[in-house]
Structure 1
Amino acid sequence: MNVYKVKINFEEKGLEPKELDIAEGESVLDVCLENGIELQHNCGGVCGCSTCHIYVNSGEDNVQEISDKEEDFIDRAVNPRINSRLGCQCVMIDGNIEITIPDQSQFLGH
Structure 2
Amino acid sequence: MNIYKVKINFEEKGHETIELPIAEGESVLDVCLDNGIDLQHNCGGVCGCSTCHVYVNNGEDAIQEISDKEEDFIDRAVNPRINSRLGCQCVIIDGNIEVTIPDQSQFLGH
Do they superpose with TM above 0.5? yes
Aligned to 1:76: 76
Q: Note the aligned Cα RMSD (angstroms).
A: 0.8
What residue is the counterpart of 2:25 in the other structure? 25
Query: Tell me, what secondary structure is at the counterpart of 2:33?
Result: helix
SS in structure 1 of the partner of residue 51 of structure 2 = coil
Please give the per-residue CA displacement for 1:30-75, whole angstroms capped at 9, x wherever unaligned.
0000000000000000000000000000001100000000000000
Percent identical pairs in the alignment equals 88
Deviation readout 1:8-29 (Å, 9 max, x if unpaired) = 0000001000000000000000
* Residues 18-97 of structure 1 mapped to structure 2, 5 A cutoff: 18-97=18-97
Q: CA separation in 1, counterparts of 2:32 and 2:60?
A: 17
Q: Distance in 2 between matches of 1:109 and 1:4?
A: 34
What TM-score results when the alignment is normalised by the length of structure 2?
0.98
- Equivalent-residue separation in structure 2 for 1:103 and 1:51 (angstroms): 11
CA distance in 2, matches of 1:57, 1:41: 20
Unaligned runs of 5+ in 2: none
4+ residue segments displaced more than 6 Å: none
- Give aligned pairs, total: 110
Task: Kindly state the Cα deviation for residue 109 of structure 1 after the two structures are TM-superposed.
Answer: 2.4
Letter in 2 for 1:83: N
Q: Secondary structure at the match of 1:30?
A: helix
**CA drift at 1:105:** 0.5
Amino acid at match of 1:82: I
1:65 counterpart SS class: coil
